[in-house]
């Protein structure tokens, strides 16, 4: 490639990248909205519940991951979502990607 054709190719790549950015942002917004709707339609543990309350209501998790960091953050994995605890209180419940896209 000569210098002028390389410059032209670079402009085409830049143009395609700029045109694609707004579409990507819109798609991300749609996916986020779908995830929020899916999580609202499910019965997930609420913030502030204790580990004991979560286990009493939703059962034993499939997997318990040990505490990490300070303050200690623990994750319990259920089939469709994970529950995150700070010390022994729920800080958030998150749907797994394969559930929120259904």
Rounded distance, CA 96 to CA 92, Å? Answer: 13
What pLDDT score was predicted for residue 15?
46
What is the percent of the chain with per-residue pLDDT over 90, rounded to a whole number? 50
Q: Please write the tens of the pLDDT for every residue from 48-82.
A: 999 999 999 999 999 999 999 999 999 999 999 99
Rg (CA), the chain: 22
- pLDDT higher than threshold 80 for residue 7: no
Taking residues 14-19, report their average pLDDT.
49
Higher pLDDT, 76 or 30: 76
Domain positions in the chain: 1-41, 44-102
pTM listed for this prediction: 0.62
Measure Cα distances from 60 to 52, 65, 76 in Å.
Answer: 10, 13, 9
């Amino acid at each position: 490639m000569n210098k002028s054709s390389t410059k032209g190719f670079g402009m085409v790549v830049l143009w395609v990248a700029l045109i694609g950015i707004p579409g990507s942002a819109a798609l991300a917004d749609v996916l986020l909205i779908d995830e929020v709707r899916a999580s609202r339609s499910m019965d997930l543990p609420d913030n502030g519940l204790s580990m004991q309350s979560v286990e009493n209501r939703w059962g034993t998790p499939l997997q318990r991951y040990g505490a990490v960091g300070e303050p200690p953050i623990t994750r319990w994995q259920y089939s469709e979502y994970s529950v995150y605890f700070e010390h022994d209180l729920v800080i958030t419940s998150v749907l797994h990607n394969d559930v929120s896209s259904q």
